[in-house]
């Protein structure tokens, strides 16, 4: 099995520290607002990674933090805490805002069928651990206090830039940035920040009242729950620098070396035209918008269908295409469950074996979901005729269903498997009925009858009411 | 408006500290296991209290903590942390256990339609605040360290026992208890506890590594979010002593006086025979059991129907009786929405005015829900004939629906109001169909037809299938 490691910029063989066990940390949401569609993409991607590792027989211990303090606007020295700022705007207590957004986060990620991490630690639950770590960094000479703030001295960090390529030489060659008087280097980053006068989010510390810098919380929480050396550290591509680079620096400052073996990053979610989604550009889509329009299942399927490592473009066209694909699988699975015949189909069995091999080979190659899904579509294309014609027996049915149930623990989109009368049959029939009604309205009865035949073939009773409406009953 | 105050052992006029605003703290769940049925009872009761206060025009700020550290088995000096103990048993990290049980807690309380508190602070998020408070208690002479533990010295507390009646004289008159050598009084209670060797739940402190005592977290979190003097402090009756008594002692030790004006306690949930529910007695019922058997709506209605201050007995008989009452309201509201006629019914209007007055008078009297609900049943009894006979007009319909919608913001059980085809019609019809099938099976066709007439009157189409099963379609 191979995983692309941002650290080496190459696909590497995956070897765990402890045999058969994977310890994985993923940077979580800053809960100053509900999660956005990019978060949904990222956490569905890690859910697939986690589930595939379990499919491969690993025991996965998955920690994803919740940043409920310490995320500073623009990650700047003088910026404000995002949560404090948003709470001020909304005239609520910062912790009230945090509770609302944690609730929203779980609502959306649960709806998208992401398994909960084993532990979801909150920054505010680890302030003492953070203060202990900051003090240790000061004691070992890697950090210094300046007027109530504490900075990590990047000039002391060997190999700074090892993950992102942003070495101090490279950074210094860039634009000049304003340096706070007294900082050793303009790239020294905050590990503890002095509280502003009006800040409610503040804790006593050896350096006065303040709050943690953004990067230190992930160093503290990842190593607290996974040990100082774990397998996978993940997050969105935009976190590689400065966040993950600074985590690596902090671990070095704490005498622990490289914290994780594999640094995994998910590609960004873009608007359909390839531009960055942003509120100012007016192309920002919330998870709520997308779920209302397409449903959580279709949204998950769209995310699953893209390679986690690549940027993906979200829009009506790609969603419709992705949905059409899911519907093909739905119909296949529906027919597979309802059309069983009496003759064993050896070709179908052989094709299933091919699918199994291809699926694992593709997923083993850096979780290549789009290629794995292509293999599924190739199998369905070959199988569809036999399935429609009842040219398969119970043994064929069982082995195919078993495999789809197995991979559905990873993809979690094939609702048709759970029950012959799954909700999605309801959806499919409703769509067909709407289509038929449209034809009836324009008096194209030939087309309308064609669709009616399709509906009846799905084991559905159509009830045409006197008032012109149509209802139906699944049998 | 009057509220029973455990502090004065009498119903008192309710006066808030800030006009039109209520600040309320309720002791939350210790998340070492999923919440039990007693928790469900308690938090539904406080939900009704909160919603009624809002009905009366108060702005309510509601804080309910989550105890994710520091709850010691038997509240003893030498006991173990319940979460640590259970985590050891289950071979999981204590924080993994905590995350699972917090999730379960929200699942059940959301299902029971309890509004989320404004803030649900966790003990582990307030360790520094707790250490600061303990240090302050030591500095002012109200607490002392003993071998890494810190105790509150109850002999220094004026009026110890003011809430529960457990004064030191009264306690000393009781059974002799074993005293840890060096404690000033056997009733001195832990505010900081030295970590056991194997404990993962531990934080550095001026007294060595340890964790907070159970009572101190509530003092710290209530006053952090509500100020040192707030309106209502609530919890289950069993928390009055020692938990709330010790909170009052701690506030005094911190120089803040009585923290809350009104100390409100909910009665215990008992088994149907009046005995205490316990796992050892084998009469322990989980929320899951009860919800599966009766549904979340019926369970909430059962809790709402009892007076919060009294013990209630849970069992099949009382649940069936409570459900029958809810069904009467369902049927009334269903008919009200479907039978509207053309003649204004002045008696109905007058009766509604009586109901409104009685409802408010009863709820104003220490949230007397059983009497308020009796008033509703009296109204329905008077109104039913007119409603069945279509002897009311749109104006009657509107004013009655408006009132029931208003009070449903408190009770949250009248689903029939939301939609004429609410799920509960589905439930009611299914029950009637089951009943009819039972009569058909024993060939009592007269009874079966009687029920069929009832079903048809509910605007339902019955579909008797060839295979003997019956389905139905709401029209």
In a domain, B170, yes or no: yes
User: Is the Cβ pair A125, B125 closer than 8 Å?
Assistant: yes
Residue B125: which domain range? 14-266
Where among B391, B416, B441 does a domain terminate? B416
d(CA B65, CA B31) in angstroms, rounded, equals 11
The answer for A 184-203 residues in CB contact with B (under 8 A) is 203
CB-CB contact of A40 with A96 (8 Å): no
pLDDT 10s per residue in chain A (475 long)? Answer: 999 999 999 999 999 999 999 999 999 999 999 999 999 999 999 999 999 999 999 999 999 999 999 887 765 666 678 999 999 999 999 999 999 999 999 999 999 999 999 999 999 999 999 999 999 999 999 999 999 999 999 999 999 999 999 999 999 876 666 667 789 999 999 999 999 888 889 999 999 999 999 899 999 999 999 999 999 999 999 999 999 999 999 999 999 999 999 999 999 999 999 999 887 888 889 999 999 999 999 999 999 999 999 999 999 999 999 999 999 999 999 999 988 999 999 999 999 999 999 999 999 999 999 999 999 999 999 999 999 999 999 999 999 999 999 999 999 999 988 754 444 556 677 778 888 888 888 888 888 888 888 787 776 777 776 666 676 666 5
pLDDT of residue B347: 97
Q: Return the CATH number at B369.
A: 1.20.120
Q: Does A471 touch chain B (CB under 8 A)?
A: yes
In a domain, B172, yes or no: yes
Find the residue in A nearest to B69 (Cα): A125
Where among B371, B399, B416 does a domain terminate? B416
User: Is the Cβ pair A471, B471 closer than 8 Å?
Assistant: no
pLDDT of residue B475: 56
d(CA B109, CA B37) in angstroms, rounded, equals 11
Tell me which chain A residues have a C-beta less than 8 angstroms from the C-beta of B99.
116-120
The secondary structure of chain B, three-state, reads CEEEECCCCEEEECCCCECCEEEEEECCCECCCCCEHHHHHHHHHHHHHHHHHHHCCCEEEEEECEECCCCEHHHCCCCCEHHHHHHHHHCCCHHHHHHHHHHHHHHHHHHCCCCCCCECCEHHHHHHHHHHHHHHHHHCCCEEEECCEEEECHHHCCCCCCCCCCCHHHHHHCCCCCCCCCCCCCCCEEEEEECCCCCCCCECCCCCCEEECHHHHHHHHHHHHHCCCEEEEEEEHHHHHHHHHHHHHHHHHCCCCCCEEEEEEECCEEECCCCECCCCCCCCCEHHHHHHHHCHHHHHHHHHHCCCCCCEEECHHHHHHHHHHHHHHHHHHHHHHHCCCCCCCHHHHHHHHHHHHHHHHHHHECCCHHHHHHHHHHHHHHHHHHHHCCCCCHHHHHHHHHHHHHHHHHHCCCHHHCCCCCHHHHHHHHHHHHHHHHHHHCCCHHHHHHHHHHHHHCCEEEEECCCCCEEEEEC
- Whether A94 and A198 map to the same domain: the answer is yes
Paired with A149 in beta bridges are: A146
pLDDT of residue B178: 67
Find the residue in A nearest to B129 (Cα): A203
- Whether A254 and A390 map to the same domain: the answer is no
d(CA A302, CA A423) in angstroms, rounded, equals 19
ipTM above 0.90, yes or no: no
Place of tokens 């119970």: A394
User: Is the Cβ pair B122, A120 closer than 8 Å?
Assistant: no
Tell me which chain B residues have a C-beta less than 8 angstroms from the C-beta of A473.
463, 471, 473
Tell me which chain B residues have a C-beta less than 8 angstroms from the C-beta of A124.
125
In a domain, A124, yes or no: yes
d(CA B469, CA B447) in angstroms, rounded, equals 18
- Whether B232 and B343 map to the same domain: the answer is no
Q: Does B96 touch chain A (CB under 8 A)?
A: yes
In a domain, A302, yes or no: no
CA distance A263 to chain B (A): 24
- Whether B163 and B247 map to the same domain: the answer is yes
CA distance A387 to chain B (A): 28
In a domain, B334, yes or no: yes
- Whether B47 and B120 map to the same domain: the answer is yes
In a domain, B72, yes or no: yes
Residue A182 vs residues A78, A143, A383, B26: alpha-carbon distances, Å: 14, 13, 71, 48
pLDDT of residue A475: 55
Nearest CA among A49, A6, A44 for reference residue A314: A44
pLDDT of residue B95: 97
Place of tokens 């009863």: B362
Tell me which chain B residues have a C-beta less than 8 angstroms from the C-beta of A122.
122, 125
* Upper half-sphere CA count for residue A232 (Cβ side, 13 Å): 28
d(CA A160, CA B456) in angstroms, rounded, equals 77
d(CA A384, CA A367) in angstroms, rounded, equals 27
User: Is the Cβ pair B119, A95 closer than 8 Å?
Assistant: yes
Tokens (6 digits) for A310:
């690549």
In a domain, B299, yes or no: no
Structural domain count of chain B: 3
Find the residue in A nearest to B106 (Cα): A103
pLDDT of residue B111: 96
pLDDT of residue A187: 92
- Whether A428 and A376 map to the same domain: the answer is no
Tell me which chain A residues have a C-beta less than 8 angstroms from the C-beta of B463.
473
d(CA B111, CA B74) in angstroms, rounded, equals 30
- Whether A435 and A402 map to the same domain: the answer is no
Where among A209, A238, A266 does a domain terminate? A266
Which pTM was predicted? 0.88
Mutation target among A62, A96, A135, A471 for the B interface, most CBs of B within 10 A:
A96
The secondary structure of chain A, three-state, reads CEEEECCCCEEEECCCCECCEEEEEECCCECCCCCEHHHHHHHHHHHHHHHHHHHCCCEEEEEECEECCCCEHHHCCCCCEHHHHHHHHHCCCHHHHHHHHHHHHHHHHHHCCCCCCCECCEHHHHHHHHHHHHHHHHHCCCEEEECCEEEECHHHCCCCCCCCCCCHHHHHCCCCCCCCCCCCCCCCEEEEEECCCCCCCCECCCCCCEEECHHHHHHHHHHHHHCCCEEEEEEEHHHHHHHHHHHHHHHHHCCCCCCEEEEEEECCEEECCCCECCCCCCCCCEHHHHHHHHCHHHHHHHHHHCCCCCCEEECHHHHHHHHHHHHHHHHHHHHHHHCCCCCCCHHHHHHHHHHHHHHHHHHHECCCHHHHHHHHHHHHHHHHHHHHCCCCCHHHHHHHHHHHHHHHHHHCCCHHHCCCCCHHHHHHHHHHHHHHHHHHHCCCHHHHHHHHHHHHHCCEEEEECCCCCEEEEEC
d(CA A343, CA A388) in angstroms, rounded, equals 14
pLDDT of residue A178: 67
CA distance B119 to chain A (A): 5
In a domain, A299, yes or no: no
Q: Return the CATH number at B143.
A: 3.40.50.620
Place of tokens 């909160």: B50
pLDDT of residue B151: 96
d(CA A199, CA A194) in angstroms, rounded, equals 10
- Whether B387 and B434 map to the same domain: the answer is no
User: Is the Cβ pair B125, A124 closer than 8 Å?
Assistant: yes
* Contacts by residues B32-35 (CB-CB < 8 Å, ≥ 24 positions apart): B32/B71, B32/B82, B32/B83, B32/B85, B32/B86, B32/B97, B32/B101, B33/B86, B33/B101, B34/B101, B34/B104, B34/B105, B34/B108, B34/B286, B34/B287, B34/B288, B35/B101, B35/B104, B35/B105, B35/B108, B35/B109, B35/B287
d(CA A376, CA A4) in angstroms, rounded, equals 24
Nearest CA among A229, A234, A260, A263 for reference residue A11: A263
Instruction: Compute CA B182 distance to the chain's CA centroid, rounded to the nearest angstrom.
Output: 40
- Whether B81 and B59 map to the same domain: the answer is yes
- Whether A234 and A328 map to the same domain: the answer is no
User: Is the Cβ pair B99, A122 closer than 8 Å?
Assistant: no
CB-CB contact of A294 with A305 (8 Å): no
Tell me which chain B residues have a C-beta less than 8 angstroms from the C-beta of A203.
128
Nearest CA among B56, B49, B4, B58 for reference residue B25: B49
User: Is the Cβ pair A118, B128 closer than 8 Å?
Assistant: no
Tell me which chain B residues have a C-beta less than 8 angstroms from the C-beta of A127.
127-128
Residue B193 vs residues B77, B134, B201: alpha-carbon distances, Å: 8, 11, 11
Paired with A263 in beta bridges are: A233
- Whether B262 and B334 map to the same domain: the answer is no
Q: Which of B127, B225, B473 sits opposite A128 (nearest CB)?
A: B127
pLDDT 10s per residue in chain B (475 long)? Answer: 999 999 999 999 999 999 999 999 999 999 999 999 999 999 999 999 999 999 999 999 999 999 999 887 765 666 778 999 999 999 999 999 999 999 999 999 999 999 999 999 999 999 999 999 999 999 999 999 999 999 999 999 999 999 999 999 999 876 666 667 789 999 999 999 999 888 889 999 999 999 999 899 999 999 999 999 999 999 999 999 999 999 999 999 999 999 999 999 999 999 999 999 887 888 889 999 999 999 999 999 999 999 999 999 999 999 999 999 999 999 999 999 988 999 999 999 999 999 999 999 999 999 999 999 999 999 999 999 999 999 999 999 999 999 999 999 999 999 988 754 444 556 677 778 888 888 888 888 888 888 888 787 776 777 776 666 676 666 5
Tell me which chain A residues have a C-beta less than 8 angstroms from the C-beta of B106.
103, 106
A208: left (phi over 0), alpha (psi -120 to 50) or beta: left
- Whether A223 and A370 map to the same domain: the answer is no
Place of tokens 């404090």: A84
Q: Does A115 touch chain B (CB under 8 A)?
A: no
User: Is the Cβ pair B119, A99 closer than 8 Å?
Assistant: yes
């Amino acid at each position: 099995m191979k995983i692309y490691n941002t650290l080496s910029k190459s696909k590497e063989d995956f070897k765990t520290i402890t045999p058969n066990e994977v310890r994985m940390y993923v940077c979580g949401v800053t809960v100053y607002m509900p999660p956005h569609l990019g978060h949904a993409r990222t956490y569905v991607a890690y859910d697939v990674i986690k589930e595939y590792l379990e499919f491969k027989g690993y025991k996965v211990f998955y920690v994803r933090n919740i940043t409920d303090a310490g995320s500073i606007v623009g990650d700047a020295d003088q910026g404000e805490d995002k949560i404090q700022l948003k709470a001020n705007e909304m005239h609520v207590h910062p912790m009230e805002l945090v509770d609302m957004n944690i609730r929203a986060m779980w609502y959306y990620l649960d709806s998208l069928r992401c398994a909960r991490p084993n532990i979801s630690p909150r920054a505010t639950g680890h302030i003492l651990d953070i203060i202990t770590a900051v003090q240790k960094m000061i004691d070992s000479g890697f950090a210094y206090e300046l007027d109530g703030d504490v900075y990590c001295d990047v000039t002391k960090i060997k190999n700074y830039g090892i993950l992102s390529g942003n070495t101090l030489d490279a950074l210094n060659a860039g634009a000049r940035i304003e340096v706070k008087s007294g900082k050793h280097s303009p790239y020294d980053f905050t590990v503890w920040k002095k509280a502003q006068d009006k800040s409610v989010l503040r804790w006593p510390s050896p350096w006065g009242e303040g709050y943690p810098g953004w990067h230190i919380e992930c160093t503290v929480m990842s190593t607290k729950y996974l040990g100082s050396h774990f397998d996978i550290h993940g997050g969105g591509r935009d976190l590689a620098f400065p966040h993950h680079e600074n985590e690596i620096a902090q671990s070095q400052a704490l005498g622990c070396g490289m914290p994780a073996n594999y640094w995994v990053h998910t590609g960004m979610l873009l608007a359909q035209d390839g531009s960055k989604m942003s509120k100012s550009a007016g192309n920002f889509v919330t998870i709520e918008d997308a779920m209302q329009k397409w449903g959580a299942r279709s949204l998950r399927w769209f995310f699953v269908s893209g390679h986690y490592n690549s940027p993906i473009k979200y829009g009506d066209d790609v969603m419709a295409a992705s949905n059409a694909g899911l519907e093909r699988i739905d119909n296949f699975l529906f027919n597979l469950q309802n059309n069983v015949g009496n003759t064993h189909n050896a070709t179908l069995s052989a094709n299933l074996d091919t699918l199994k091999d291809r699926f694992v080979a593709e997923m083993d190659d850096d979780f290549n979901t789009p290629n794995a899904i292509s293999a599924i579509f190739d199998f369905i294309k070959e199988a569809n005729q036999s399935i429609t014609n009842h040219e398969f027996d119970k043994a064929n049915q069982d082995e195919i269903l078993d495999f789809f149930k197995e991979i559905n623990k990873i993809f979690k989109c094939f609702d048709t498997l759970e029950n012959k009368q799954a909700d999605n049959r309801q959806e499919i029939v409703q769509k067909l009925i709407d289509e038929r009604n449209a034809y009836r309205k324009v008096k194209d009865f030939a087309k309308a009858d064609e669709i009616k035949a399709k509906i009846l073939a799905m084991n559905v009773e159509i009830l045409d009411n006197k008032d012109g409406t149509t209802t139906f009953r699944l049998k």
